[in-house]
Amino acid sequence: MVQAWKDYQDVNKDRFLNELLDLLRIPSISAKSENKPDMKRCAEAVKARLLEAGVQTAEIYETEGHPIVYAEIIIDPAKPTVLVYGHYDVQPPEPLELWKSAPFEPTIIDGKIFARGSCDDKGQFYMHIKALETLVQTKTLENNIKFCIEGEEEIGSPNLGKFVASHKELLKADCILISDSSMISLETPSIDIGVRGLSYIEVEVTGPNRDLHSGVYGGAVANPITMLAKMIASMHDENNHITIPGFYDDVVEATKAERELMAKAPFDEQEFKDDLGVKELWGEKGFTTNERTGIRPTLEINGIWGGYIGEGAKTVLPAKAFAKISARLVPNQTSDKITSLMLDHLQKIAPKNVTVKATLHHGGEPYMTPLDSTAYKAAAKAMETTFGKTPIPVRGGGSIPICALFEKELGIKIVFMGFGLDSDNLHSPNEKFNIDNFYKGIETIPYFHKYFSEMTK
Amino acid sequence: MVQAWKDYQDVNKDRFLNELLDLLRIPSISAKSENKPDMKRCAEAVKARLLEAGVQTAEIYETEGHPIVYAEIIIDPAKPTVLVYGHYDVQPPEPLELWKSAPFEPTIIDGKIFARGSCDDKGQFYMHIKALETLVQTKTLENNIKFCIEGEEEIGSPNLGKFVASHKELLKADCILISDSSMISLETPSIDIGVRGLSYIEVEVTGPNRDLHSGVYGGAVANPITMLAKMIASMHDENNHITIPGFYDDVVEATKAERELMAKAPFDEQEFKDDLGVKELWGEKGFTTNERTGIRPTLEINGIWGGYIGEGAKTVLPAKAFAKISARLVPNQTSDKITSLMLDHLQKIAPKNVTVKATLHHGGEPYMTPLDSTAYKAAAKAMETTFGKTPIPVRGGGSIPICALFEKELGIKIVFMGFGLDSDNLHSPNEKFNIDNFYKGIETIPYFHKYFSEMTK
């Protein structure tokens, strides 16, 4: 253990936490146009914190959407460079009534920071800023660090691709380090070696040209809600396989050996069910829960609406019904192909008495980190140092759509060192990040830089 | 034709219209608790207009919900008495963005009054107040008239039953006259001889105990939206028959003769489709459009919601999904029985990995007016006088849940003399009432009183 790091962090830990809380107070919701000024304010705050932490330069790059914050400290161009990626935007906080505390007024209860973005991803990228500060203040930085903190991850990073493609020299590095995922627990550290891809679409089903009285017209005109329900219902068969023709064609089936390894990860089904409050699980026949969320593609309805959804009753046969639908993809599925299959399929199964419009929201490719890459080895050794245990490699269910893009444009490997927990309520009410996990991240990250430098030399 | 009526109405027609517009400016939405003060204000306005029009007494009766306005003019207790029923509450105006003018700022375009409640039912019950004024001012009233104008029709009249049961003497009459329905057109007058019953329920499907990240949990936990969609999809079979066991058991099948008579009502399918903007119609196999909306029971989804329904994308697997579902009933179905069947069926088809809670909003019984009743005959003769044509008896698709209740408690027949049109966008954006229809109603109603008195003597 490097004593100087520990001493510096012990003395400054309360300040580290308070700085994060300040950042969490900014409602940087990328999906909502009304929060555009908050997005700008948040980018400026991130830039300011990076400069205070010791980077040499920090810049805000405008895009057609929300700005990207770039910063760097280059101690010697000949030395290894780590590019840290993170995002300062957050998911919308709705449904607000289910939050126990205000989503943008961080509240600490039992050692947990409750706030939208606490874990995903402000709390996690901020660990990297405080790790950098530790290295700079203790004069122990042995490599170059670049930061690319974007503001559109939660809406599919529509403008990051163009930025990366046109700033290849600026972003040049030896590996990319991302903390935007989870580990099993502080007692059982793990590293995500895969993220799933995504195809996120929206469907609009139109029946009559206006809302109708359900008594006068009901039974004689197709109800778009009923038609949409029939379409959605048909998309999983009785074994919960997805029925879109061609959907599974490019899936690389996991080997028996891989599945056996996965089965060794600690998993208590009863505990899992109790935590979620469900009596029975659900999923594709022939696969375990961990396989269903790790190595299999899935299709979920993320939202549905149509007709009267207010208080009381209204006897309406609505003109329109809508759904947001997303698929999670695994290697070697591609987002473009699956999106096309989904959009085409919805047209094909559209009842002829309604009109269906299906459009893409955003997509992203699946990604896998090789276990023999230097970045993975450095991350595993760093966690071993601070946790006292070798981390387990696992395949996560979420998506970080920019991974495939980074690899393609920059030709370098990515490693996911996530310090969140599955129970952190990402994208849900009462998102939280355990303070212990926050500090553990700040403690571990300097070791990653140290070992990666040593292994790359 | 009674010239005095015509003269009086000609001189006062602009005032009649302006009074209605004032009434339409009050947002008397019974379903929304925030409009409770408007409901009170509207009841007071109705009472004031009744007194101005010439009733002897008018009272506001408080209920556990919204107040009932009762008024009467008794010229001679020995003479026939007509009880006019109407409602001053209106449907919620949502979706607001589809209105071309503000729903509570009545706007006249091409001879049509656009406003929520213009036809359903403020415009229609107001015709009765102005008809009364005509009779009083021309000193030609030959019968007694009572008014019962309630404020909870659009939410299923939860408190009217108790009021009627405890005020039988007050409400005693020889027939009930209601204008809360439509006719075919000014050129083809018609009278509704039946209204359908209603069973309106709400379903809540609960999956996990909180909203989840669809990447982390998707594919492993039942999505309540998908489960709800499967439940809804299963409720109509491939012939669009309703699949709830026992649903059709009590339906009195129409005779061949009845169906032949119905087939004679003017109906142009292409015109109907063009008006609604649909390419194909939908409905129960084996029945025509008029049969589907008139003599057959139906099941419609009036609203659905769950997950993220805001702008942009959110990768959530929601904890809950909801739907509002209503059935229209025909003789001899009863609302209690069908509601039970619906609630039980939803529990029976509930997938075991979710929890389903289904509850009743409100219900009402179907009702039929006998063609040989004095009330029907008087209404037909009145319309014949002012339209120059015998009205066609038709069975309407809507519901006026209080009909069966009135008949049961007061033991008298109801006649529906509706002056709206099917195209009036009841319960929809841009609800309207043609000014010509409003005046035609005011012209016709005095004849109803005259003929009903003569026939009852």
Q: What is the ipTM of this complex?
A: 0.81
Q: Distance between CA A307 and CA A313 in Å, rounded?
A: 11
pLDDT of residue A278: 96
Confidence band of B129 (pLDDT split at 50, 70, 90): very high
Measure Cα distances from A367 to A201, A295, A401, A419, B310 in Å.
Answer: 21, 12, 8, 19, 29
Torsion of CA A390, A392, A396, A400, to 10 degrees: 30
Which residues in chain B are contacts of A208 at CB distance < 8 A?
276-278
Q: Which CATH superfamily is domain A3-195+366-456 in?
A: Zn peptidases (3.40.630.10)
Of A208, A308, A321, the CB nearest to B278: A208
Catalytic residues of A: 89, 153
* pLDDT tops 80 at residue B1: no
Overall average pLDDT of the A152-174 stretch:
94
Across the interface, do B397 and A215 touch by the CB < 8 Å criterion? yes
**B294 close to B396: Cβ distance less than 8 angstroms:** yes
* Cβ pair B211:A292 closer than 8 A: no
CA A238 to chain B, closest CA, distance in angstroms equals 11
**Mean pLDDT, range A164-175, rounded to an integer:** 96
The mean predicted confidence, pLDDT, of chain A is 95
Nearest chain B residue to A427, by CA = B213
Chain B residues in contact with A311 (beta carbon < 8 A): 31-33
Structure tokens at B270: 């292409």
Closest CA to B65 of B107, B33, B88: B33
More confident residue, A333 or B404: A333
pLDDT digits 0-9 by tens, A260-289: 877 877 889 999 999 999 999 999 999 999
Reply yes or no on whether the pLDDT at B232 is more than 70.
yes
Q: At residue A1, does pLDDT exceed 70?
A: no
Amino acid A11 reads V
pLDDT above 90: residue A404: no
| B 324-353 residues with CB < 8 A to A | 324, 326, 328, 351-353
- Which residue in A211, A225, A302 is closest to B315 by CB distance? A302
Question: Alpha-carbon distance A210 to B431, whole Å?
Answer: 11
Does the pLDDT at position A210 exceed 80?
A: yes
A21-30, B137-146, B193-202: least confident range: B193-202
CB contact under 8 A, A302 and B281: no
Domain boundaries, chain A: 3-195+366-456, 197-240+297-360
Q: How far is B282 from chain A (nearest CA, A)?
A: 5
Which residues of B are identified as catalytic?
89, 153
Of A292, A311, A316, the CB nearest to B427: A316
Q: Say whether A402 sits in a helix, a strand or coil.
A: helix
What is the CATH architecture of A197-240+297-360? Answer: 2-Layer Sandwich (3.30)
Instruction: Give the pLDDT confidence of A284-336 residue by residue, as tens digits.
Output: 999 999 999 989 999 999 999 999 999 888 899 999 999 999 999 999 999 99
pLDDT at residue number A264:
79
Using CA coordinates, name the residue in chain A closest to B217. Answer: A293
At B414, phi and psi to the nearest 5? -110, 145
Q: For the residues B139-168, what does the mean pLDDT come to?
A: 95
Residue B228 near chain A (CB below 8 Å)? yes
pLDDT of B362 reads 85
Confidence (pLDDT) at B195: 86
Instruction: Name residue B436's amino acid.
Output: D
CATH code for residues B197-251+297-364: 3.30.70.360
**Nearest by Cα to A393 from A290, A268, A282:** A290
Question: Which B residues, 384 through 443, put their C-beta within 8 Å of a C-beta on chain A?
Answer: 396-399, 422, 425-430
Element holding B170 (H helix, E strand): helix B168-171
Q: Averaged over B303-313, what is the pLDDT?
A: 93
Measure in Å the smallest separation between the Cα of B181 and chain A Cα atoms.
Answer: 10
Q: Once rounded to an integer, what is the mean pLDDT over residues B105-126?
A: 98
Cβ contact, residue pair B399, A293, below 8 Å = no
Asked if the bond preceding B95 is cis, omega within 30° of 0, the reply is yes
What pLDDT, on the 0 to 100 scale, is given for residue A357? Answer: 98
Residue B191: pLDDT above 80?
yes
User: Residue A370: pLDDT above 80?
Assistant: yes
Percent of the residues in chain A that have a pLDDT greater than 70, as a whole number: 100
> Cβ separation of B313 and A281 shorter than 8 Å?
no
pLDDT confidence of residue B8? 98
What is the pLDDT averaged over residues B41-62?
A: 98
The answer to whether domain B3-195+367-456 has CATH 3.40.50.720 is no
Cis before A18 (ω within 30): no
Q: Do A3-195+366-456 and A197-240+297-360 agree at the fold level?
A: no
Q: Give the distance from residue B172's alpha carbon to the nearest chain A alpha carbon, in angstroms.
A: 30
